[in-house]
Chains A and B, each alone.
Chain A
Amino acid sequence: MAQKTPGLVSRYGADTAFMSFVAFLMAFLYIPIWVLIAFSFNDSRSLTWPLSGFTLDWYRKLWSNSDLIAAIGNSFYVATLATVVTLAVGVPAAMVLHKFDFPGKSVFRRLILLPITLPGIVTGISMLNMFKLMGFPLSLETVILGHATALLGVVVTQVYARLQRLQPSLEEAAFDLGASPWRSFIDITLPNIRSAIIGAGLLSFVLSFDEIPVTFFLTGRDNTLPMYIYSTMRRGVTPEINAVGTIIVLLSLILIVVAVIATRERKK
């Protein structure tokens, strides 16, 4: 009587296969990060298995490395301002795309997306040429402009997509109820695209934070964190870098939590 039907067996098999696949995928994604974290607390300079002992030395060293601290500071400065600039340009651009029909609109829409599809190297070189031509000295500010340009597409696509999903009648209803276009934007449109703006902003911040190619061409004497890490790699991966990596993982986790809280749709 305890005969299993073939359907049940194959379903069990499929479930197992699926679970193994998921487990494999998660391992593939997260084992390197765990390795990084583990070695950041390891008291040996060489990155070899097995771990030899626990230490916080690398974190202490990190604090006394003024170049590294400066690079982290620069990265925050660049990522924050690049996000602000790209939002300040991208959100109005998405509004214009959504609201107005003008000749060449589809061309404009594609052009605005071009910087994300272009390799960073192309964006970097072309902006370098432009700044040189205009006689702009290279600095963190030119990096900010470069990042803002490269990330514009991210903001515009996200915000534009959300605007497209918004019922057009909502804005008309606000007008109908006495709201001027500006009031209706503040009261009705903005709250409904808020999560898209926050999401796009966070994504821009993260992408700018670890951007190398554009930064490589556009930075002056100052270094951002990824550039600093890249330059120290000539001497091999040091446990100090692992410590920085661990801190970034931690910050990213915090950022994700913030993003989830900020963009959470109200409970239905």
Chain B
Amino acid sequence: MASIIQLENISKHYSPTIIGVDDVSLTVEDGEFVTLLGPSGCGKSTLLRMIGGFEEPTAGAIRLADKDVTFDPPYKREVNMVFQDYALFPHMTIGENVAYGLKTFKLDKDTVRTRVKDALMLVGLYDKLNQRPQQLSGGQRQRIALARAIVRRPKVLLLDEPLSALDAKLREQMQIELKHLHEKVGITFIMVTHDQTEALVMSDRVVVMDNGRIAQEGRPQDLYDHPASPYVANFIGTTSFLPGKVSALSGEVATIAAGGTQITAHPNAKLGEGATVTVGVRPEKVKLLAEGEAADNVFEGTISEVIYYGLGLRISVTLADGSKIDADTLLPDKLSHSTLPQSGAPVRLGVAAHNVFVFEGTVTP
């Protein structure tokens, strides 16, 4: 696969102190679905708008199919954007909206008609051809916005929080639809979102951004299983953090004092003995141990809270040293209150050594 977009040390400084994007380099392969993920204000939208040509970087270069487009206006770039508010033209019909982008190509009428029809068929809304945007529902408008962008056959499709205006059920459905659409048209998609589920479900690659910089990039499962920092661990999925100290090292295995006990883990980074670390554990990787059951690492504590969320329970446990850890457990088949964990009861939790994240330093996420 060839690279279609190359961002080379892109920065956007509004003023010496206000920094939107800070020295970001990223390569996107042709046909890839890449998601820029982060909280609001992390620079992901600014980055997308710079690729689209709506903002200019203060430093760095943007290459589109090996051509420098850094300072090209949007109407000279072969990329198209699906706007967060869809930006459908209210004074035009759906057909006119979709056909608008073909105007500059100077195609003959029949070609325009066919391409508009194809694009609308693709999103399943050809029957709305002569209606106006105001007559459509949010989900339908979203699809028209997609059709209007795709009809130009851009090299890259940019999506700015495309699903944020939809309600939860529709959003789930559109996530799958967008993914299928991406497979069907084969265009490179770059999406911006603050919703980690969206990023995990849809993308080939996720780029997590923090304060204008790339915190980590990788396949969804890699980010989930091997977060590079507590920030990523906390932003993608849920993680309980415990303060700890390395008490012994032998090869790949570290023994760490945390949560009132000694635990073993396989840290990625090189650590020294006595180093201050933060241990991260995902609730769904924590097991409630039955009496006599063993695990790599065993924490002992008291249940402080039990939260029911349908699929299962989230149990908050206070450990011997006062730190807290969450454990998720599926509900047993036969619900009986006597077998359910009760608040205030003592409990033993087991975590496998390979499921323990170790980060350098202390963190207060």
Contact of B83 among A169, A188, A191, A192 (CB under 8 A): A169
Q: A172-B83, A178-B104 are in contact. List 5 more A-B contacts (CB 8 A).
A: A169-B87, A175-B73, A176-B101, A178-B101, A268-B132
Q: Given the complex, which residues of B lie within 8 Å of A177, measured CB to CB?
A: 75, 80, 100-101, 103-104, 148, 152
Among residues of B, the one whose C-beta sits closest to the C-beta of A192 is B91
Q: Would you call A167 an interface residue if the criterion is a C-beta within 8 Å of the partner chain's C-beta atoms?
A: yes
Q: Which B120-160 residues have a C-beta within 8 angstroms of A?
A: 132, 134-135, 148-149, 152
Is B224 in contact with chain A by the CB < 8 A criterion?
no
Can you list 26 A-B pairs, Cβ within 8 angstroms, ordered by A?
A167-B85, A169-B85, A170-B87, A172-B74, A172-B81, A173-B83, A173-B87, A173-B88, A174-B89, A175-B53, A175-B54, A176-B74, A176-B75, A177-B80, A177-B100, A177-B101, A177-B104, A177-B152, A178-B103, A178-B104, A178-B152, A187-B100, A188-B89, A191-B91, A192-B90, A266-B91
Contacts of B89 in A (CB 8 A): 170, 173-174, 188
B135–A178 contact, CB under 8 A?
no
Main secondary structure of the interface of A (DSSP, over half): helix
Contact of B87 among A172, A179, A187, A268 (CB under 8 A): A172
Chain A count of residues within 8 A CB distance of the other chain? 18
Report how far A39 CA is from B73 CA in the complex, Å: 66
A172 to B134, CA, bound (A): 19
- The distance from the CB of B208 to the nearest CB of chain A, in whole angstroms, is 26
- For the complex, give the distance between the alpha carbons of A266 and B80 in Å: 29
A-facing residues in B5-37 (Cβ within 8 Å): none
Docked pose: A188 CA to B96 CA in angstroms: 12
Say yes or no: A180 contacts B75, CB within 8 Å.
yes
What is the bound-complex CA distance between A117 and B193, given in angstroms? 48
How many A-B residue pairs lie within 8 Å, measured between CB atoms?
61
Interface residues of A (CB under 8 A from B): 167, 169-170, 172-180, 187-188, 191-192, 266, 268
Q: Is the C-beta of B52 less than 8 angstroms from some C-beta in chain A?
A: yes
State the CA gap A147–B339 with chains docked (Å): 87
- Looking across the interface, which residue of chain A has its beta carbon closest to that of B49? A172
**Complexed CA–CA distance, A187 and B152 (Å):** 18
Known A167-B87, A191-B91, A268-B135; judge A173-B75 contact (CB<8 A): no
Q: How many residues of B contact A (CB 8 A)?
A: 27
Q: Mark B38-60, 1 if CB is under 8 A from A, else 0.
A: 00000000000000111000000
Contacts of B73 in A (CB 8 A): 175
Please tell me which one of the listed residues B53, B81, B91 contacts residue A173 in the complex, with CB atoms under 8 A apart. Answer: B81
Residue of A whose beta carbon sits closest to that of B148: A177
User: A268: which B residues are within 8 A, CB to CB?
Assistant: 132, 134-135
Q: Which residues on A sit within 8 Å (CB–CB) of B105?
A: 178
- Interface pair A175/B91, CB less than 8 Å apart: no
Collect the chain B residues with CB atoms within 8 Å of residue A180's CB: 75
Bound form: Cα–Cα A155–B311 in Å: 61
CB-CB under 8 A from A191, the residues of chain B are 91
Bound complex: CA A134 to CA B296 (Å): 96
B154-199 with Cβ < 8 A to chain A: none
CA distance A178 to B105 in the complex (A): 9
With a CB–CB cut-off of 8 A, which chain B residues contact A174?
89, 100
Q: Mark B77-99, 1 if CB is under 8 A from A, else 0.
A: 00011011101111100000000
Contacting residues, chain A, for B87 (C-beta < 8 A): 167, 169-170, 172-173
Q: Chain B: which residue is nearest A170 at the CB level?
A: B87
Chain A residue at smallest Cβ distance from B52: A176
Q: How far is the CA of A174 from the CA of B104 in the complex (A)?
A: 11
CB-CB under 8 A from A188, the residues of chain B are 89
CB distance from B43 to the nearest CB of A (A): 19
A191 to B, closest residue via Cβ: B91
B134 and A178 contacting across the interface, CB-CB below 8 Å: no
Most chain B CB neighbours (cut-off 10 Å) among A169, A176, A192: A176
Smallest distance from the beta carbon of B52 to chain A beta carbons, Å? Answer: 7
Residue in B87, B104, B149 with the greatest tally of chain A CB atoms within 10 Å: B87
The answer on a CB contact under 8 Å between B104 and A179 is yes
**In the complex, which of the residues B54, B104, B152 contacts A172, with contact meaning CB atoms closer than 8 Å?**
B54
- A266: which B residues are within 8 A, CB to CB? 91, 132
What's the nearest-Cβ distance from chain A to residue B195, in Å?
A: 20
Whether the Cβ atoms of B75 and A178 lie closer than 8 Å is yes
Closest 5 A/B residue pairs (Cβ): A178-B104, A177-B101, A173-B87, A169-B87, A175-B74
Give Cα A180–Cα B85 distance, bound, in whole angstroms: 21
Question: Separation in Å of the A179 CB from the closest CB of chain B?
Answer: 6
Bound-state Cα–Cα, A166 to B85, Å? 12
How far in angstroms is the closest Cβ of chain B from A265?
9
Contact residues in B for A169 (Cβ distance below 8 Å): 83-85, 87
List of B residues within 8 angstroms of A170 by Cβ: 87, 89
Q: How far is the CA of A173 from the CA of B146 in the complex (A)?
A: 12
Distance between Cα atoms of A174 and B149 in the complex (Å): 11
